[in-house]
Amino acid sequence: MSARGFVKASLGALVLGGAVAALATAVTCRRCARSGRDGGVLVATRIHLPEAAAASFRLDSVEKALVAHGVAVRVLTSQAPADAPQGDPDPDGVRVSRWPVLRDSSGYLRGYVPYLSFDLPLALRLLMSPRPEAILVEPPPTTGAVVRVVAALRRIPYVWYAADVWSAAAASTGAADIVVRAVEKLEAFAVGGASRVIAVNDGVAQSVAELVNAAEDNDVWAQRIRVVPNGIDTAVFDAHGPTPSEKDRARIGLSGPYFVYAGTASEWQGADVFVHALAQVRRTHPKAQLLFLGRGTAWQEITEAASQLPSGPDGSPAVIMHPAVPAAEAAVWQRGAAAALVSIKPGQGYDFAYPTKVLSALGCGTPVLFAGHGPVSADVRDFDLGWAAEHDAAAVAEAMRTALDVYDTEMASGARPATAQRFHDWVEDHRSLRATGQSAARIVQEAAAGADDGSKKNDEFNDVRRVSEEQRW
């Protein structure tokens, strides 16, 4: 079958699947309507727990905050991949509806056809579901476009949660101009109808403003775009929890001091730089190891690079590739590491990103070794949270050697617990998931209440940023 034929066949199957989904949803919704279950907030997202991702944890915190305020929450999402770690059950007050979707070879829901496999049924699910007071939607722009159309038809306000700007990322990766323009128009359409936009940092807020051509002195958009940083659960990622036992270390092949990379490894992160750096580090620190916990589109590339490194003097592997684990288990491995590794490959359109793996590591009391540019690098340097290096194997290797030496010194002197507590306190003060979830939930409730964009200002939203067109994310 030709590529064109495959796409047509796939789309036909998706439309049919969407119709079936809509029928099933209609039956469910009639039951809900009879029981009086409507209103509240509806969350539309392709990614949700137990599938571990920054978006999943972000939305989970918002959902819990809404429920705590007496708001019923319904979630329309995808069926998690088979290898997703089994987490806690859905919180009380949150009803999650999951539908099967097409995923790529790495198990991720990404790509044109996989997006359509979620978006087409979503349109019908939104049309047939009980009417909510507001919708909270995550990218991609195709999902946002679906939500805007349905929200307009049903007169429902919606909130766009902007973790990044997809059109800017597409442009930075060298995509064809026609593709970039198409993504940009679609994203502008998705954002343009939003009652509120939640941006995870100032860079994203500025890019969103550029996307909708908002002038710097546009009071309406200055009120619509709110900055709420990503956060983490400091109860799970705590500095006082357990560290890996000798039995657990031996089980996966750890015998010496190790670095941990916990989370998604995609092309834009360039996490293979740590494998190349470790090859240099082991010349002076032969027992040093690297533990990858997670999954991602770059997993195979990293695995192949790791296979080129020889075993250590005791026969242990230099790099250990381990599937994703529940957050509490990931925290155990993070606490025992010399440092946690985080990277953003420059020039990929994500320089303003702030990966939550930074926060989870610091919450566990583990210093961060960051490779790249942007706000993470600034925080690591300004608050002495670890080491920031260029995204270069030699620079990263130098930082890794320093981290190992500091780790040995602190463990020998007993200073490690005090350092760990300082890191945890910084996260508690700056990036608690509970606090950021509450901030985002208030914005969603404000949208549901139909607050006037131009006139109402709330002191609780003192993190509103007036955006400019001077920076591009």
Res. 470 pLDDT band, cuts 50 70 90: very low
pLDDT, residue 84, reads 74
Nearest 5°: the CA angle 436, 361, 49 is 55
390-415: per-residue pLDDT in tens? 999 999 999 999 999 999 999 999 99
pLDDT, residue 216, reads 61
pLDDT, residue 179, reads 85
Concatenating the DSSP letter of every residue in 261-277 gives EEEE--GGG-THHHHHH
> How confident is the prediction for the chain on average, in pLDDT?
84
For residue 128, give the H/E element and its range. Answer: helix 112-128
With CA atoms as reference, report the closest residue to 340 among 385, 302, 276.
385
Average pLDDT over residues 34-38: 43
Task: Say whether pLDDT at 246 is over 70.
Answer: yes
Highest average pLDDT, of 221-230, 331-340, 463-472, comes from: 331-340
Q: Hunting for tokens 């998706």 — which residue is that?
A: 14
Average pLDDT over residues 353-380: 94
For residues 297 and 257, what is the distance between their CA atoms, to the nearest angstrom? 27
Q: Which CATH number fits domain 246-430: 3.40.50.970, 3.40.50.10490, 3.30.365.10, 3.40.50.2000?
A: 3.40.50.2000
Q: Considering the chain, what percentage of its residues have pLDDT values greater than 90? A: 59
CB 272 within 8 A of CB 305: yes
With CA atoms as reference, report the closest residue to 345 among 379, 301, 303, 389.
389
CB 311 within 8 A of CB 317: yes
Backbone angles phi, psi at 112, to 5 degrees: -60, -50
pTM of the complete model: 0.68
203-225: per-residue pLDDT in tens? 889 889 988 886 666 777 878 99
Buried-state track 75-91, b at ≥16 Cβ within 10 A, e below 16:
bbbbebbeebbebeebe
Residue type, 403: A
Residues of the chain with CATH 3.40.50.2000: 12-231+443-461, 246-430
Give the tokens for residue 261.
Answer: 């990379």
pLDDT, residue 364, reads 97
Res. 462 pLDDT band, cuts 50 70 90: very low
Residue type, 396: V
Task: Say whether pLDDT at 94 is over 70.
Answer: yes
Average pLDDT over residues 270-287: 95
For residues 344 and 264, what is the distance between their CA atoms, to the nearest angstrom? 12
Reduced to 3 states, what is the DSSP secondary structure of residue 373?
coil
Task: Say whether pLDDT at 64 is over 70.
Answer: yes
pLDDT, residue 11, reads 40
Task: Say whether pLDDT at 353 is over 50.
Answer: yes
For residues 281 and 309, what is the distance between their CA atoms, to the nearest angstrom? 12
Q: Which CATH number fits domain 12-231+443-461: 3.40.50.2000, 3.40.605.10, 2.60.120.260, 3.40.640.10?
A: 3.40.50.2000
Task: Say whether pLDDT at 35 is over 80.
Answer: no
Res. 9 pLDDT band, cuts 50 70 90: very low
Task: Say whether pLDDT at 27 is over 60.
Answer: no
For residues 108 and 362, what is the distance between their CA atoms, to the nearest angstrom? 27
Q: Which of 52-56, 182-186, 197-201, 254-258 has the lowest mean pLDDT?
A: 52-56
Residue 456, burial from CB neighbour count under 10 angstroms (0-12, 13-18, 19+):
exposed
For residues 7 and 111, what is the distance between their CA atoms, to the nearest angstrom? 12
283-342: per-residue pLDDT in tens? 999 999 999 998 888 999 999 999 999 998 888 999 999 998 888 999 999 999 999 999
For residues 141 and 89, what is the distance between their CA atoms, to the nearest angstrom? 29
